[in-house]
């Protein structure tokens, strides 16, 4: 890999649950679920590997998880503890390279192409990082090593937990050909279903379509699919990422229906999002409202202004207008969310780090 880039993807194993099991010995070796209570409308944020044996996974309704494993232990998230562990892990990354890109609290890309430590071996560096994380935080990480982001991320998932997998430049194209399309990062259920309907089941099938055909079926994403089906991904590892949005949302224990209650909740969410924006010395020009009705039908409504959005301005003018074209007042609501985007710093330049989407649980 000396003539190509050397990319490592680090992914912490069952991160939230692992922190809980580390801090509370009574949870160890037991099915543990971090998220909403089983008698609430919450969802699973993550779960231990002991819980995964029962078919439980993240984003599953907590009530369903309880039915699959009634003996599971349910705990509320402790985000301060997870942030503290994540900060310690990022300090370890910085011991090996300045060029790392956090994707979330529990995963990151590292570019070690020009690192001379450990003979410049990305595999040895990945091993050393995994060992340092375990020694300093008592947590387990999996690592994928390859010559681009796409393959490194795929590789980190292959031997979980505590995995380490290398995909060399010589292996990349063949590996991508054999990969089922649903395993391609960025191809979700809807896109994979569409691909299957077109007879596209593997990277090899994807590779056999021309760029023009892929763009016809998938628009702008067609070029990305054309490249990754050939093991090509030239995206750089960015240690400086532009934040795109700040959002908050809440799922109600009991549905709400009255319009004034909805507006009150949205205003409360907006104040929280606005506080985060102000704290980072940013201003926002776009407000998006997310509404999920009792039957799980979800809609969004947005408004972009030439001047900055404030909580008072939105309360008095925008929110009422956004709700006019909805079924608020006629259908029960189970979830509301507010997102502020089109972010700029106070000097007028778009400027910020990683997107931060935080929930009010």
Distance CA 61, CA 39 (A): 10
**CB–CB of 178/202 below 8 Å?**
yes
The torsion of the CA quartet 231, 236, 238, 242, rounded to 10 degrees, works out to -90
Catalytic residue among 101, 107, 136, 212: 107
**CB–CB of 248/269 below 8 Å?**
yes
52 vs 24, 32, 49, 73, 266, CA distance in Å?
19, 9, 5, 13, 35
Distance CA 287, CA 326 (A): 16
Distance CA 283, CA 103 (A): 23
Three-state secondary structure call for residue 292 = strand
Query: 183-186 — which CB contacts under 8 Å span 24+ positions?
Result: 183/154, 184/150, 184/154, 184/225, 184/228, 185/150, 185/153, 185/154, 186/221, 186/224
Residue 107 among the catalytic residues: yes
Distance CA 153, CA 247 (A): 26
Three-state secondary structure call for residue 254 = strand
Closest among 218, 208, 215 to 186, alpha carbons compared:
218
Structure tokens given for 319: 């929110």
Active site positions, annotated = 107
């Amino acid at each position: 890999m000396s003539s190509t880039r050397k990319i490592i993807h680090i992914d912490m194993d069952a991160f939230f649950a692992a922190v809980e099991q580390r801090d509370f010995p009574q949870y160890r070796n037991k099915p543990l679920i971090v998220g909403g209570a089983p008698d609430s409308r919450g969802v699973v944020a993550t779960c231990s590997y002991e819980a995964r044996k029962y078919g439980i996974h993240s984003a599953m309704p907590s009530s369903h998880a309880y039915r699959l494993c009634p003996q599971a232990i349910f705990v509320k998230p402790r985000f301060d503890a997870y942030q503290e562990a994540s900060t310690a892990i990022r300090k370890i990354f910085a011991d090996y390279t300045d060029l790392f890109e956090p994707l979330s609290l529990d995963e990151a890309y590292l570019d070690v192409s020009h690192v001379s430590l450990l003979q410049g071996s990305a595999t040895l560096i990945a091993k050393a990082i995994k060992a340092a994380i375990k020694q300093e935080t008592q947590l387990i990480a999996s690592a994928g090593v390859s010559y681009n982001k796409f393959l490194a991320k795929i590789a980190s998932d292959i031997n979980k937990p505590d995995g380490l997998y290398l995909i060399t430049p010589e292996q990349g194209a063949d590996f991508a050909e054999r990969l089922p399309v649903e395993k391609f990062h960025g191809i979700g259920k809807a896109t994979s279903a569409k691909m299957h309907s077109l007879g596209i089941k593997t990277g090899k099938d994807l590779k056999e379509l021309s760029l023009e055909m892929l763009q016809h079926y998938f628009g702008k994403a067609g070029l990305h699919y054309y490249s990754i089906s050939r093991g090509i991904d030239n995206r750089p590892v960015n240690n400086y990422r532009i934040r795109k949005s700040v959002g908050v949302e809440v799922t109600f224990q009991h549905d709400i229906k009255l319009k004034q209650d909805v507006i009150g909740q949205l205003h409360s969410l907006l104040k929280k999002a606005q506080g985060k924006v102000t704290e980072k010395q940013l201003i926002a020009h776009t407000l998006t409202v997310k509404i999920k009705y009792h039957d799980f039908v979800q809609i969004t409504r947005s408004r972009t202004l030439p001047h900055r959005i404030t909580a008072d301005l939105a309360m008095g003018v925008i929110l009422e207008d956004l709700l006019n074209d909805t079924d608020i007042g006629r259908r029960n609501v189970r979830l509301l969310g507010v997102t502020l985007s089109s972010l700029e710093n106070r000097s007028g330049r778009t400027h910020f780090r990683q997107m931060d989407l935080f929930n009010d649980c």
